[in-house]
């Protein structure tokens, strides 16, 4: 910063003071000359002393007037400078610097000539421009950061060194309804472990990152959150607070668990028939070496059944993988009678009474996957109902969707199993299902196919022995 002497201000001051002083001196000199020539000779000596006192008083008043005028000449531009500084001091953002304020500052500028504190005025204008530019930049930066924080799915809460909330994004409000600016963090978060590690962060600057099971927000059941706590460090390395981030990992953990369960189930499902095949092949090999042929045919039948079971399982796994990988189905208008006949022609139904009811002629669906849905539903109904049971396959038309219902009068599905019936490899009765050749994937495929169609599948089985009803909805 240059320390140049304010010469223009000195010249302006001397100029104003000289003009006022010279004017006062001229007036006072003329007054003294007039008094000396005309009044003093006629004043009696006994009043001369008082007259001199009067002259001195007039001189004092004149000097005081000159001083007041001089002070006023300084105060007027200074008062305008003070107003300008006050307005500049209140600038905090672009919204707080409206056009009216800008016009006010321009009006102040009009009252100044180059001598009226010119250097101070010029530097104030420069400060104002710099503050305004910085304010605009900070306002835009703040808006960008708030938009980014709002777009993040994690809940973010920032607190100061006094544990008061200074920032929170909308997602944090969903988890912690008590989140408000300047609210105490202890009133918002009650988890002891989070608060203890938050205290450590504020005192020592340590970080914290751990998966915690928390029962918070609008969720009825506890959920898994990755909780991260990091210090808020000032530009001078001063600890000013902390940032807490809550990342909901429940779905990720559930997916990981599902993958683990899926691999475990597939391994088990593959191992069971392979173990049986291996055992019977070893037995056959021993019998052949000993020339015992009486059980060979029986063993080959068992091996053939297990191979067929493996083939069914692999086909279902491929179907499940295929439907998972499809993003958009190739839909067309499919004739309901024709597709039902094709899907059911390979299902052995001679021991059951099957009724076909068509109240809808066509349905908008993928022909390939609709055939799979029909086959799985009807095949399950035939497989898990005793001979002589009745099975109804019903197509119905509604204003917004087409309904496919497969209903039987078998044993039905117990209530405790119904919420899991569409899970992969889930069986109501595992041993009975395996005996009948079930893979445990059929209804999972139906659910996936219906979701790809934009529809749903529902199970209705109210009482034991009253059968089960599976209903699929296809949007029109």
- Segment-wise mean pLDDT, segments of 10 residues, the chain, 476 residues: 52 63 67 67 67 70 70 68 72 47 51 58 78 81 78 86 88 86 88 90 88 82 89 76 90 80 74 84 86 84 84 79 78 92 86 90 91 90 86 92 90 80 72 55 88 90 79 92
Residue 453's domain comprises 328-476
In this prediction, residue 121 carries a pLDDT of: 73
Q: Give me the DSSP letters along 13-33.
A: HHHHHHHHHHHHHHHHHHHHH
Q: Of 310, 325, 340, which residue sits at a domain end?
A: 325
Question: 119, 6 in Cβ contact below 8 A?
Answer: yes
In this prediction, residue 10 carries a pLDDT of: 57
In this prediction, residue 362 carries a pLDDT of: 92
> Quick check: is 214 in a domain?
yes
Q: 79 and 164 share a domain?
A: no
Side by side, the strands of the sheet bearing 390-397 are 353-358, 390-397, 401-408, 469-475, 456-460
> Quick check: is 225 in a domain?
yes
**Number of folded domains in the chain?**
4
- pTM for this predicted structure: 0.53
Question: 163, 184 in Cβ contact below 8 A?
Answer: yes
Q: 199 and 279 share a domain?
A: no
> Quick check: is 26 in a domain?
yes
Q: 289 and 369 share a domain?
A: no
As given in the structure block, the two tokens for residue 270 are: 């593959």
Q: Of 325, 348, 378, which residue sits at a domain end?
A: 325
Q: 340 and 471 share a domain?
A: yes
Q: 114 and 168 share a domain?
A: no
> Quick check: is 141 in a domain?
no
Q: 15 and 122 share a domain?
A: yes
In this prediction, residue 46 carries a pLDDT of: 66
Q: 375 and 445 share a domain?
A: yes
CB atoms within 10 A of CB 434: 16
In this prediction, residue 16 carries a pLDDT of: 63
In this prediction, residue 94 carries a pLDDT of: 41
Q: 200 and 272 share a domain?
A: no
In this prediction, residue 53 carries a pLDDT of: 74
d(CA 251, CA 109): 63
Non-local CB neighbours of 214 within 8 Å, separated by 6+ positions: 191, 222, 223, 225, 227, 246
Q: What is the CATH number of the domain that holds 427?
A: 3.30.565.10
In this prediction, residue 32 carries a pLDDT of: 67
> Quick check: is 93 in a domain?
yes
Q: 212 and 292 share a domain?
A: no
In this prediction, residue 328 carries a pLDDT of: 79
> Quick check: is 310 in a domain?
yes
Q: Of 184, 217, 248, which residue sits at a domain end?
A: 248
């Amino acid at each position: 910063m240059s320390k140049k002497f304010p010469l223009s201000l000195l010249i302006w001051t001397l100029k104003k003071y000289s003009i006022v002083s010279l004017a006062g001196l001229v007036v006072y000199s003329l007054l003294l000359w007039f008094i000396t020539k005309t009044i003093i000779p006629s004043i009696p000596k006994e009043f001369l002393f008082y007259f001199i006192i009067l002259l001195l008083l007039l001189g004092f008043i004149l000097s005081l007037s000159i001083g007041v005028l001089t002070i006023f000449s300084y105060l007027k531009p200074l008062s305008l400078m003070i107003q300008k500084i006050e307005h500049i001091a209140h600038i905090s953002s672009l919204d707080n610097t409206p056009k009216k304020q800008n016009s006010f500052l321009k009006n102040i500028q009009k009252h100044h000539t180059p001598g009226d504190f010119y250097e101070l005025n010029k530097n104030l204008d420069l400060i104002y421009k710099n503050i305004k530019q910085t304010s605009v930049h900070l306002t835009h930066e703040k808006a960008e950061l708030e938009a980014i924080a709002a777009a993040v799915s994690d809940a973010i809460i920032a607190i100061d060194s006094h544990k008061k909330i200074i920032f929170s994004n909308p997602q944090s409000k969903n988890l912690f309804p008590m989140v408000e600016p300047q609210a105490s963090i202890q009133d918002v978060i009650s988890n002891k472990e989070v608060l203890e590690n938050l205290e450590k962060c504020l005192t020592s600057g340590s970080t914290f990152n751990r998966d915690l099971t928390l029962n918070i927000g609008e969720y009825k059941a506890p959920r898994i959150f990755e909780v991260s706590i990091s210090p808020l460090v000032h530009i001078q390395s001063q600890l000013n607070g902390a940032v807490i981030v809550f990342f909901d990992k429940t779905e990720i953990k559930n997916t990981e668990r599902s993958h683990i369960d899926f691999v475990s189930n597939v391994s088990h499902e593959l191992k069971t028939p392979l173990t049986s095949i291996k055992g019977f092949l070893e037995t056959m090999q021993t019998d052949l070496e000993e020339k015992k042929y009486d059980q060979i045919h029986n063993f080959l039948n068992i091996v053939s059944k297990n191979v067929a079971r493996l083939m069914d399982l692999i086909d279902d796994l491929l179907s499940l993988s295929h439907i998972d990988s499809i993003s958009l189905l190739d839909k067309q208008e499919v004739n309901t009678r024709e597709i039902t006949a094709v899907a059911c022609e390979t299902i052995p139904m001679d021991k059951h009474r099957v009724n076909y009811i068509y109240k809808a002629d066509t349905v908008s669906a993928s022909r390939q996957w609709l055939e799979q849905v029909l086959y799985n539903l009807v095949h399950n109904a035939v497989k898990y109902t005793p001979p002589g049971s009745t099975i109804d396959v019903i197509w119905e038309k509604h204003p917004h969707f087409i309904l496919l219902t497969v209903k039987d009068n078998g044993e039905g599905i117990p209530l405790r199993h119904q919420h899991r019936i569409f899970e992969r490899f889930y069986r109501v009765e595992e041993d009975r299902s395996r005996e009948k050749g079930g893979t445990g994937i059929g209804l999972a495929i139906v659910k996936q196919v219906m979701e790809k169609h934009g529809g749903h599948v529902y199970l209705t089985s109210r009482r034991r022995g009253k059968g089960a009803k599976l209903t699929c909805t296809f949007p029109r």
